[in-house]
């Protein structure tokens, strides 16, 4: 079994323009005050033994444009205040009824660079809301039980005595059971929880010197792996208390665009 993920970028424009191949900036390109979005479709199955394709990516592009975009465009006109998560079941169903068929396993709708929603075919009663935030912080990677030479050998320049800094990106993924009788946990509420629990606590801090979680002697080195684990532990009860049917699925922390840690892994 292999998994193939294709991201389709598009704009829903006031002039109704559609069509074209998947482009770097989205097709159709934005006209006037259009609405930009990205949809990522994950397909799972066995590749064709002759072509090596699980599915032709052009088929994914057409399926998203022909099956998903009209649903979103109609909602923008007739239900502009609808919670986007409520559109995921019909979007996923439309993809499954397209030529893609049963290879579709999940859909992620990227509404902004910092906000996305996801649904999987084996859990259509649950929406995963992904919300990102940024913190700027300094840290030093150092183990007191090791010698200075051993620390330098393991951590290199990250062992600088005065520390060094990163602009961290923190993604909180919240799994929410969809129930008509209970209002959904919105992105604004999740952002407030992340702001009060993580951003205020760790932003513009030296993690080793200014926080109890990573204080020198705490035994918890502020690596990106440990940061994801600690943040998860802080956020999980806050999310659970905020909404019946909501639970923290994971926390991912990027220290650069090339390195991130996720908990649970």
- 66 catalytic residue (yes or no): no
Distance CA 97, CA 91 (A): 10
* Domain chopping of the chain, boundaries: 2-122, 128-263
- 166 catalytic residue (yes or no): no
Distance CA 132, CA 35 (A): 20
Distance CA 102, CA 121 (A): 9
> What are the φ/ψ torsions at residue 217 (nearest 5 degrees)?
90, -5
- 204 catalytic residue (yes or no): yes
Q: Do domains 2-122 and 128-263 have the same CATH topology?
A: yes
CB of 250 closer than 8 Å to CB of 173:
yes
Q: What is the pTM of this model?
A: 0.89
CATH number of 2-122: 3.30.479.10
CATH superfamily of 128-263: 6-pyruvoyl tetrahydropterin synthase/QueD (3.30.479.10)
Q: Which residue in the list 139, 166, 171, 255 is annotated as catalytic?
A: 255
Distance CA 163, CA 138 (A): 6
Tens digit of each residue's pLDDT, the chain (265 residues) = 899 999 999 988 887 766 666 667 778 888 888 899 999 999 999 999 999 999 999 999 999 999 999 999 999 989 999 989 999 999 999 999 999 999 999 999 999 999 999 999 999 999 999 999 999 999 999 999 999 999 999 999 999 999 999 999 999 999 998 876 566 778 999 999 999 999 999 999 999 999 999 998 888 999 999 999 999 999 999 999 988 889 999 999 999 999 999 999 8
Q: Which residue in the list 66, 158, 191, 206 is annotated as catalytic?
A: 158
Tell me which residue of 185, 172, 196 sits closest to 115, measured CA to CA: 172
Region label for 71, one of left (φ > 0), alpha (ψ between -120 and 50) or beta (otherwise) = alpha
Residue 82 CA to chain centroid, in angstroms?
21
């Amino acid at each position: 079994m292999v998994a193939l993920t294709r991201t389709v970028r598009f704009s829903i424009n006031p002039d109704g323009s559609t069509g074209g191949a998947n482009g770097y900036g989205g097709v159709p390109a934005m006209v006037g005050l259009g609405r930009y979005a990205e949809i990522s479709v994950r397909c799972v199955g066995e590749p064709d033994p002759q072509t090596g394709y699980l599915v032709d990516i052009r088929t994914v592009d057409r399926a998203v444009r022909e099956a998903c975009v009209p649903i979103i465009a109609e909602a923008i006109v007739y239900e502009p205040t609808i919670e986007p998560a409520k559109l995921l079941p019909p979007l996923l169903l439309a993809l499954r009824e397209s030529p893609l068929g049963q290879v579709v396993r999940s859909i992620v709708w990227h509404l902004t660079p910092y906000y996305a929603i996801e649904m999987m075919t084996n859990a259509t009663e649950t929406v995963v809301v992904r919300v990102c935030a940024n913190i700027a912080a300094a840290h030093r990677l150092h183990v007191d039980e090791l010698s200075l030479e051993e620390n330098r050998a393991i951590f290199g320049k990250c062992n600088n005595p005065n520390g060094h800094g990163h602009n961290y990106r923190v993604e909180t993924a919240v799994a929410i059971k969809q129930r008509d009788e209970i209002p959904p946990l919105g992105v604004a509420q999740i952002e407030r929880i992340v702001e009060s629990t993580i951003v205020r606590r760790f932003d513009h801090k030296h993690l080793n010197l200014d926080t109890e979680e990573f204080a020198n002697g705490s035994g918890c080195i502020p690596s990106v792996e440990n940061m994801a684990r600690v943040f998860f532990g802080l956020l999980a009860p806050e999310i659970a208390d905020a909404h019946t049917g909501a639970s923290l699925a994971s926390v991912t922390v990027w220290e650069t665009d090339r390195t991130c840690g996720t908990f649970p892994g």
